[in-house]
Each structure stands twice: as structure tokens, then as C-alpha cells.
A = this chain, B = another copy of it.
Amino acid sequence: MTTFRVKFLPYDTDIEIEDGDTVIRAALEAGVHVNASCGGEGVCGKCRVLIEGGTVEGGISEKLSRQDQESGYRLACRSIVKSDLVVRIPVESAIDSGVLKLQAAPRRTAHIRDMNFEELKEKGLFVAPVEKKYVELPAPTAQDNLPDITRLISHLQLEHDEHRLEVTLAMIRKLPQVIREDDFRVTATLVRPVRDVGKTRIINVQPGDTTRQSYAIAMDIGTTTIYGQVIDLISGEVLAEHGEFNGQISYGEDVISRIVYAEKPGGLVKLSEVVIKTVNKILAKIIKRSGVDPENISTITLAGNTTMTQLMLAVDPRHIRRAPYVPAATLFPPIKAADLGMDLGEHVAALVYPAVSSYVGGDIVAGVMGSGIYRTDELTLYLDVGTNAEIVIGNKDWLACAACSAGPAFEGGGLKFGMRAAKGAIEDFSIDPVTLEPMLITIGNVRPKGICGSGLIIMVATMFEMGIINNLGKFDRDLDTPRIREDNGVYEYVLAWKDDTQIDRDVTLTEIDIENLIRAKGAIYSGCMTLLTEVGMSIEDIEKIILAGGFGSYVDLEKAMTIGLLPEMDTAKITFIGNGSLMGAKMSSLTNRIRRDVVEVTKKMTNFELSDTPSYMDNYVAALFLPHTDMNKFPKLKARMDARKGLKQ
């Protein structure tokens, strides 16, 4: 990936960004404010910048006069960086640069990559889960008329030293034809036992030599989105990946409403069918894209939260939502994928990730396996934030986990103009400390439609740090701007006037929205605090944070610390894992060692029911402030706020 360095004048701030990014995104990342209210569509014309050095593509608009254009002015939101740049922010926006500079540090993110075979081998984690073996069998004669299967097994023993083999009926059904199709030359697909004591199962036979075509499917069954991958078991590469909204969304947004639906007559079967339909949609796409022959796919590994897992397997989840929150099972036997209605060969085994409890599911366990916390020395906080937030704290010696209900704010739910992180959602934001004019960037660079979770955090953090809202999340009533107003008794900030939006209404951020966010982040923060207290540790002991989930990939770390969602720490110690569930599913597809370890890890993960932990409520109440009732827990933020106060005075 080519990167370029963009320098912003007059601030003398510079930042490295990737080829294809726009100037306005570079500015935001560098903490440089440029007025902008159309989300990046180029229609408001406010984000005029002067390109003083280097090359950009686009950025010319009727909003710029011919003279401006010739002088090198461009719209920052439509200018794509094509070289190192020097960009001057026009004086009309460049007020109070000192304050701006205090605003935020550039973001830093580090992704944990999935491991490949080499790394798995280096770490002693590689044990092949599936192997294909080619044999050239002698044709039967009157003197040697062994059954087809016995002929195959005896030669696998003889030529490949394979013992303790067992077979499946599906494979026996294929054998008579397959064994004769290429003159008794066949490839057998062997699935290894998770434990050494088990048997190797011959799940498939194919004519000729197909040993180089060996694939697996990894899948994350999310409440909202389901992702699947086709994995090459020879190279370890992901050949295709695709996500689709879980078809169950029509039956309820969150796990609780899904459970309620499942309790209706026929509801469980319906929800099971619907999720399998989505799985099949994804399978069709990724198999097609990868170009692999489905016959060469041997396993599908699935990870999902406890409710999603039970719904997919048509196991009644009703007791998950009722105290004392009892799942039917957290460990599942291997199942035939075809028996679950999946459009995969009769031979394909479905392996379902084990869970810990009703609210710490297989998706989290997969993340623990994928991120490798269970093997690290460092005390690590693993956080997967969605409607429910799951927290794991620990290292190779011990693991504690808990779940808390954050509500839908992080997914854009429950807000006046909330929406999922989709096209038109404001995902990045800055505000001019003097004019209080906003700078907006939307997903897809189109006119804004609403606010997504990561955008909400940035807005609230930015406004809080600039004093536009106080530590209770209330707007400063004394500020002189038409953007802050009272509507039906609720104070709100107008992010975009209706002409700049897609919805022909002003898009606003309300105090109720902010309250929802504070509750959500308070739940998570107090969850972490409570878990730490229960294991006799404090926030300072955390050496590393791993953020998982779609939310975790987009959240601005500094802003998340500013609102008190995350404890304040060096961002270098925070990594994004992305879809931890999918990563774990992939790694289990690649090596049996992870599948073996996971059973032990799951047993080791001590679950805490926060609702039954007395300190949780105290911690929660203390966290219902920005960032927290105890500002001393956020020393860097305190320093910045104190500095800002000094500047203002």
C-alpha cells in the first residue's frame, strides 16, 4: 500500500495517509478542522483548501470560482491525495489554531493479523485438521476381491501409514463409483481427531489426485451480520470473503427480541431456517468467487454468540433471556453441515465454537483463540462492543469474562437520527471551537442521513473536550450559535441543515442521544472495573487492550478514552482485531491444535454475572459522567482540559 505524507499549514501538522484517501480525511486524522457539512459529497462547498505542493485528483467544483481553481483551491472532501502534499487551510477557518492543536492526537491503530501456517508452526500450534491422501489401488481380481472400502483402507495403511481410520455412510455411498472412475486411483479426505486418542475419519473420496485442492469454510454468525471465508488448507490463504446481514434481523434487532420470537409457535424453526438461508447465500457467493469445487471443501467452522448458535442449531434459547440465564449447551458435538440445511456436500462436518455462558458466546471464545490472549504473558483486556459488550480479562494463566448490556447506541440504535454504519452515516466529525461550525465526513462521501456509533463517540468526545457539552452531557446554554437549539424541550446540535442532508430534515445530535451514549459507555466501563475488582486487580494492571468487532475497527481510540469508554492508556498498547469471531473460526479451520486447546480455554474462562455482582451498580453510577466521576482516572484528558481552560482564561 502506497502512503503519502500530508502537511497542513499554518499548523505545521503532518500525517501519513494511504493512497486513495481524501484531503479532508487526512485533515481529520491530523486533528485539523475544516468546515464541512455535506458529508463529503461536495455540495456545501465549505471545505476550501489551498494545495501548495503536490498533486491531488479531483476537488474541482462549481462551488469554487475559476480564479480560486487556478490559484490551487480545491474542495478538501473531493480531493484525492496522489503524492506527498502541502495543504493550507484558508485563514477564514484557521481561527484559534492553538486550541485546535490541543484537540486530539492523530489516531494510531494496529491490527492483529490472522496467523498463517508459518506462524502457527513457529508457535507450535499447527496440527493439520484435514489431510488428503492419494492412492493408486490395484484393481480387484478373483483372488483379491476385497470390499471397495477395505481395499482403500488397507492401502492408506500400507502407503501412508494411516491407522485407526473410520468411515461415514455418505462416503461409502460414493465409493463404488468413485473408485472405478479413474481406474482405482483415488484421493481420500481424512479429518483428524481433535484429540490424539480419537479416530481419523475418511469423509470423502474423489477420483484421481486432488490432494492439492483442500478447502475449509470459516463463518462468523453475528446477530447483525454473518461473514464467511473460503480458506485454502494448502496455503492458509483466504480465497474469498463475504458478509450479509443476518436474515433474522426482520424478526428482531437484538438477541432478546429474537429469543422472544423463537418462543412463538414455529418461531424457533423459522429463525433457524432464516439464518441458514443467509449462511447459504454467503456460501454460494464465496464458493463461486473462490472458484473452488465444493467437493473439495471438507469442514465449516462456525462461531457465534450463544443465542445465535442455539438458534442456528434449532436449540430452544428461551432460558438464555430469563434469570438465571441458562444456555442449553456451550459445547456442541460435530454435526453434518447438510443436516443443518447448509448447501455443502454430505461429507462436510460443521464444527461449532464452544461458548462460556449465555452471554459470553462462541464468538468471544473464537476471539480469545484468534487473538491469542490465552497464550500471552501480558494482562490483556479483550473487548467486543455491540448491543451487548463482552469483556475478557486475563492471560495464559487465567481468564475472567463477563457480558453487559450496552444498549444499541454503539450501533446507532436509539438515537434520534441513529443509523447503522452504512452509506450516509456521519462517521467523522470536528467542530470549529469559535464558530461552532461542524466538519462532517460520511460513509460513502454522500450527504448525511444520520449518525452511526463511531461517529457519535467522536462528536460527543469532541464537544465535551471543547466545553460545548459538560460532564453530564448537557449543552452549554450560553453558546451563541443557531446550531444549538431547543426542540420540544430537548436541547440539540444541528449537524447538518436540511438542504445539506439526504432526508430533507435537519440532522441533529440531541442530549437524549448523548445520555444514551453515556449509559452505554458507563455499562462497559463499569463492566471492566467490576471484573477487575473481582479478580483483585485494577485498571492500571491492564497491559494491553484488544478491541474486536465491527465497532472496534472504526472507533477513534482517543475519543473513546475521552468519553470514558476505554481506560486511558497508550494507544500503542491497543490493537484492533477486527472480526475476532471470524479470525478464531479461520484459525480452527487451519489447525486442530486450536480446536483442541479451545475446550481447555473455555473451561478456564471464569464467567461473572455482572447483574449478580454487587459492585457493578456502584461502578456503573460512577461511570455515568464524561469521562467518569473520578477525573483522576483520566490524567491525560485532565491535562488537556486544564490546558484548554488556561488558554480560554
Q: Which residues of A contact B (CB under 8 A)?
A: 140-150, 166-169, 172-173, 175-177, 197, 313-316, 318-319, 323-333, 335, 339, 357-358, 609, 612
Contacts and interface: CB of A to CB of B under 8 A. Distances in A.
Looking at A167, A177, A326, A335, the one whose CB has the most chain B CB atoms below 10 A away is A326
Contacts of A339: 169
A201 to B, nearest CB: 9
B148 A313 contact: no
A210 to B, nearest CB: 21
B142 A329 contact: no
Given A147-B330, A173-B313, 17 more contacts: A140-B324, A142-B324, A142-B612, A145-B324, A145-B326, A145-B609, A148-B319, A150-B331, A166-B333, A167-B333, A169-B332, A169-B335, A172-B329, A173-B315, A173-B328, A175-B328, A176-B318
Given A176-B319, A316-B177, A612-B142, A327 B147 contact: yes
A175 B313 CA distance: 13
Nearest to A358: B145
Nearest to A316: B176
A361 to B, nearest CB: 12
Contact of A169 (B173, B313, B323, B330): B313
A403 to B, nearest CB: 13
A167 to B, nearest CB: 6
Oligomer copy total: 2
A143 to B, nearest CB: 7
A476 B316 CA distance: 81
Contact of A172 (B144, B145, B175, B328): B328
Contact of A141 (B140, B146, B176, B324): B324
Contacts of A173: 313-316, 328
A516 B609 CA distance: 82
A150 B328 CA distance: 9
Contacts of A332: 169, 172
A147 B329 contact: yes
A522 B454 CA distance: 89
Nearest to A151: B326
Enumerate the 8 nearest inter-chain pairs by beta-carbon distance, A residue then B residue, closest first: A145-B324, A149-B329, A142-B612, A147-B327, A142-B324, A176-B328, A172-B329, A147-B330
B330 A150 contact: yes
A156 to B, nearest CB: 15
A242 B569 CA distance: 77
Nearest to A340: B169
A324 B147 CA distance: 10
Contact of A325 (B145, B168, B169, B330): B145
A141 to B, nearest CB: 6
Nearest to A168: B333
B142 A326 contact: no
A527 B96 CA distance: 109
Given A176-B315, A313-B172, A609 B150 contact: no
B323 A148 contact: no
Contacts of A313: 169, 172-173
